[in-house]
Amino acid sequence: MFNIRPLSSEFDDEIQHRIDTKTKPLGALGDIETLALQIAQVLGKEGPKISNPKLIVFAADHGIADSGVSIAPSEVTGQMVRNFMAGGAAINVFTRQVGLDLEVIDCGVLQPFDSESGVIDQRLGAGTGPIHKRAAMTLGAVKQGFDMVTARIELHHKDGCNLIALGEMGIGNTSSAAAIMSVITAIPVTDCVGRGTGIDAATFRRKQMLVEQALLLHHSELDDPLQILACIGGFEIVQMTGAILAAAERGMLVVIDGFIATAAALVAISINVDCRDYMIFSHQSDEKGHYLMLEYLQAKPLLKLGMKLGEGTGAALAFPLIQAAVNFYNEMASFEDAGIEI
């Protein structure tokens, strides 16, 4: 489905030697050194450069939200998208600060946006089906979502973009993400479902029950990643999954945000394991299951700030660390360059 080049280890020793001989004690820059190695593997060992980076927010509504799994109604999804376009959300503040170009894609918000809004129209429907009652979408919708987002990633790639960061907006999407997590990792639903935007105890119990109900309903069809998306996914999760795979296919870095984006990463890896090498995990969110997701993927996030907002905020805040890894690799003198004998 996606032809992703496995990363070669041919130049790893050369890249590591370059890192190790910088004017610093061995390993003194810690995880920034590990990140620099990964970036050089993906973008090339000679002068890797981040060019035309994009942060893409994928927005959609979820039918399960009508059953009371969030503190906010579904209408808030559309209202927040308008806030993004007006420049007033946290993700706007952070992307402006770090110099990331922000794009918002409507994957299936309840009410469409007018053509002058600036929102990219890649709608797969007006919200998914309630996953505890029926499938979220058809398999055809999943494939259409992949096709749409692949074309979008190709457009950015042709424009010289070699890094995308993923964000999302969708009331109810932590329920779908928790269901996906439980299916793929075999971790019990009780450890996957969190309190999302801050629900009370009764709502939390209902959310757990509905996710368990969804998994029981679709049990016989959850043995294939595309069917997982069709049965219990979200329109935005589908397109994030496709974006990861399409970007990796084109040799681009992919910055994963929090709980929802990591659920998409789980599905993408299930489709093609080689995409894992292109992912940078930006932060560990405060959502209950995110630590377990990252542990399952053996992923070490760059930040841990107790955040649980989504929108791509963790990915945006991690971007300066990615830039720092590139710059130290390219610009920091070696002991030989500096005339320092050790």
pLDDT tens figures, 292-337? 999 999 999 999 999 999 999 999 999 999 999 999 999 999 999 8
Is-contact 237 176, C-beta < 8 A? yes
Report the amino acid identity of residue 78: G
Half-sphere exposure of 218 (CA within 13 A, CB side): 32
Per-residue model confidence (pLDDT) at position 288: 87
Task: Give span(s): CATH 3.40.50.10210, the chain.
Answer: 54-319
Per-residue model confidence (pLDDT) at position 64: 97
Per-residue model confidence (pLDDT) at position 135: 98
Per-residue model confidence (pLDDT) at position 148: 98
Q: Determine whether 217 is exposed, middle or buried from the number of CB atoms within 10 Å of its CB (0-12, 13-18, 19+).
A: middle
First CA to last CA across the chain, in angstroms? 51
The CATH fold assigned to 54-319 is Rossmann fold (3.40.50)
Q: What would the two tokens of residue 182 be?
A: 């439980």
Task: Give span(s): CATH 1.10.1610, the chain.
Answer: 12-48+327-338
For the domain made up of 12-48+327-338, the CATH class stated in words is mainly alpha
Task: List per-residue pLDDT tens for the chain, 342 residues long.
Answer: 899 999 989 999 999 999 999 999 999 999 999 999 999 999 999 999 999 999 999 999 999 999 999 999 999 999 999 999 999 999 999 999 999 999 999 999 999 999 999 999 999 999 999 999 999 999 999 999 999 999 999 999 999 999 999 999 999 999 999 999 999 999 999 999 998 778 899 999 999 999 999 999 999 999 999 999 999 999 999 999 999 999 999 999 999 999 999 999 999 999 999 999 999 999 999 998 999 999 999 999 999 999 999 999 999 999 999 999 999 999 999 999 889 887
- 87-96 contacts, C-beta under 8 A, 24 or more apart: 89/311, 90/309, 90/311, 90/313, 91/55, 91/57, 91/167, 91/311, 91/312, 91/313, 91/316, 94/313, 94/316, 94/317, 95/55, 95/312, 95/316
Q: Is 148 helix (H, G, I), strand (E, B) or coil?
A: helix
Half-sphere exposure of 116 (CA within 13 A, CB side): 0
Q: Is 117 helix (H, G, I), strand (E, B) or coil?
A: coil
Given the residues 33, 249, 287, 311, the one annotated as active site: 311
Degrees to nearest 5, angle at CA 152 with 235 and 78: 40
pLDDT tens figures, 266-279? 999 999 999 999 99
Active site residue 311: yes
Per-residue model confidence (pLDDT) at position 18: 97
Per-residue model confidence (pLDDT) at position 195: 87
